[in-house]
Amino acid sequence: MRMIKIENITKTFRNQGNPVQGLKKTSLKIKEGSFLVIVGPSGSGKTSLLNIIGGLDTPTTGQITVKDRNLKNLSDKELSNYRNNEIGFVFQEFHLEPEMTVLDNVLLPTLFSKDKKDKKEKATELIKEVGLTKKINQKTKALSGGEKQRTAIARALINNPTIIIADEPTGNLDAETGKIILNLLKKIHKNHKTTLIIATHDEKVASATKQQIKL
Amino acid sequence: MISIAHKNIKERKLRTTFTLLSVIIASSTLLLFMGLKDGVKNATFEELEKKSPLTQITVSPKIEDNGIISLLGKSQKNKITQEKIDKIKDIDGVKAVYPEIQFNNFASLEASVFGFSFLTDAMIFGVDEDFVKDDFVTTTDWNSLNQPYPAIIPSKLLDLYNVTIAVPQGLPSLSEDDLKGKKITLYPNYSTFFPGFNKISDSIELKVVGFSDKTNLLGATLSYQAVNQLNQKYSEIKEPQVLELFIETEDASLVKEVADQINTLNLNTQYFQKNAEDIEAKLNYLDMALSILSLIILITTAMAILTTFLATISEQKKEIGLLRALGATKLDIKKMILLQATIIGLVGSAIGLALGILIISLIEPLLLKERAQTTFTPNSLFLISTVSALKILLFGTVLTIFAAYLPAHQAAKVNPIQALKN
């Protein structure tokens, strides 16, 4: 079943008044539950494509449809709900709240969701799943890079999203930790049956799946 | 949402402290102004009500028709006649009419207190017992025509003496107790100001039996009969000259209606409600001045809060971007910032309220001590009601929310991609 349908999308930015093409014309169909890696050098438009799929940005031209909903037609509230319920973001820089505990960071997306039932139990389970039970009440500023990314992965899963978007998830980690995080993402993809989309310039990460898109 | 707002407040201690300080200063200043405005108004009306009970009307000849000579009883034009008094008695709502007559010539009073002797010109007034009976502080036969004649002293005369004579000259202040039962000598037809008019040097003994806020400030008040007797013996004009009338109405609500009817007799009327209107109009200037000062403080505070919040938003951009990525709507972000403002506004105005009350409790005794040397001696100068306190809390909070609205609006417009990149 085709979940994401991208048709001829482009993204153009303005840099000091001059147009800069961030993403060249791209078309793509992504099936539900698939594991896809977007590869390409810096500036090729990987992050732009992920941002458009994740509802953080809109294409300059073209259409993107997720579960038959054209993202371009959604209001701010609908788009926010989409990001909250359908998407789980994993960033290269982790983007955690340093003064908050692992548990509170994982629970952060639930602040904006309607369904708040049993979320603490769910967060505790996810933290266990990513192997951070012992650090559940520790502030994230005290965690290592790998632990921070594990926290970010648990946070991405808290609202049962259908799509996990990971932008260079191993970019800020050493090779060994990066491997562990990649395996964790693969495990999560398998256990939670989510669609996993990773953007990377790292060939080793790209080789984790056969489904690759080169930009 | 509250936990995030609370965390943001805690994380930015310096900025939070600065914003809190602005709200605290504004709230406490507003409380002081509001308390002073209400307090002065309250004290003024209390003072006024003491002098002029709510049911009383003071009637006098129209001064523009008669001039000062008439006041001294020399002019016959437009004076208060028995015919007019009878007409007033017939007005619906009039309970009692108390004429105030005067001794129709010069007079001086001599008193000796603390070893000093005072001799001064004064007017002598006469009223019915019913009008002053509540003011007696010693048992007395008011209508007695035996010397010493019972006499009432205006309470304000004591204040005036204390303020204008005792304090500047370093003399001891006088209290009612110092004068109670005191003998005073009255010299009829004797003036220290106009010695050329002095005819005889007779002396009459008076005894202070009470103090009143209702009687005439210009001299001593005796019984109606006593003044009549003095006029018979010492004045060229023997008939009683009615200087003023004190009208007691059946109900305070009837005062204006009765006064309007008295005015048709070409007489002047004064009563609490009318005086209150005049004083209120004057107090409105104080109100206006304090309102302008308050407005300046509010604008300054709002600017300080706005600037601090803008700086905070700038620092929080990355966090706002993250929250947007995680599903926060623009409205959620706006709510979060306004919630921060609400917490700061509520805490700040509560502290400001407490600080204002503390300042008032410290400065009020000092101000009242200074006032004790004047004729205006209220029990309190500041009036803080529960409603005023609630108004301050509400105002401080609303002001902070209002000032934070623009920054909140800007925060809601933060581009999550740009914010996360930074």
Q: Minimal Cα distance from A152: which residue of B?
A: B326
Measured in angstroms, the CA of B34 and the nearest CA of chain A are apart by 41
A116 touches chain B (CB under 8 A): no
Q: Minimal Cα distance from B11: which residue of A?
A: A99
- Mean pLDDT over A59-73 rounds to 91
CA neighbor of B223 nearest in space, from B155, B161, B158, B145: B145
Rounded alpha-carbon distances, angstroms, from residue B381 to A4, A117, B38, B202, B384:
74, 57, 8, 48, 10
Q: What SS3 class is residue A2?
A: strand
Smallest Cβ distance to B327: which of A91, A95, A113?
A113
Give long-range contacts, CB 8 A cutoff, 24+ apart: A62-65: A62/A6, A62/A7, A62/A8, A62/A9, A62/A10, A62/A25, A62/A26, A62/A27, A63/A5, A63/A6, A63/A7, A63/A8, A63/A9, A64/A4, A64/A5, A64/A6, A64/A7, A64/A9, A65/A4, A65/A5, A65/A6, A65/A7
Measured in angstroms, the CA of B322 and the nearest CA of chain A are apart by 7
**Across chain A, what does the average pLDDT equal?**
91
Residue B65, pLDDT score: 54
B330 touches chain A (CB under 8 A): yes
Residue B77, pLDDT score: 63
Q: What is the pLDDT along chain B (422 residues), one digit of tens a residue?
A: 777 777 777 777 888 898 999 999 999 999 999 998 888 888 888 877 766 677 889 998 886 655 554 455 455 666 888 899 999 999 999 999 999 999 988 899 988 877 778 888 889 999 999 988 888 888 888 988 888 999 999 887 887 777 777 777 777 888 888 888 889 999 998 888 877 777 667 889 999 999 987 887 788 999 999 999 999 998 888 888 888 999 999 988 899 999 999 999 889 998 888 877 888 888 888 888 888 998 999 999 999 999 999 998 998 899 999 999 999 999 999 999 999 999 999 999 999 999 999 999 999 888 888 766 666 677 888 988 999 999 999 999 999 999 999 999 999 999 999 898 87
> B12 and B309 in contact (C-beta within 8 Å)?
no
Mutate to test the interface with A, among B1, B6, B326 (most CBs of A within 10 A): B326
A150 contacts: CB under 8 Å, gap ≥ 6 = A130, A131, A132, A181, A184
> B360 and B380 in contact (C-beta within 8 Å)?
no
Residue B366, pLDDT score: 87
Question: Taking CB atoms and an 8 Å limit, are B319 and A159 in contact across chains?
Answer: no
B335 touches chain A (CB under 8 A): no
Smallest Cβ distance to A112: which of B7, B11, B332?
B332
Q: Per DSSP, what are the bridge partners of residue A2?
A: A31
Counted across chains A and B, CB pairs separated by less than 8 A come out at: 57
Lowest mean pLDDT, pick from A36-45, A109-118, A138-147, B65-74 = B65-74
What ipTM does this complex have?
Answer: 0.93
B322 touches chain A (CB under 8 A): yes
Token pair recorded at residue B317? 């951009």
Residue A1, pLDDT score: 53
Q: Which helix (H) or strand (E) holds B43?
A: helix B13-51
Interface of B with A in 266-295 (CB under 8 A): none
Preceding peptide of A109 cis, ω within 30°: no
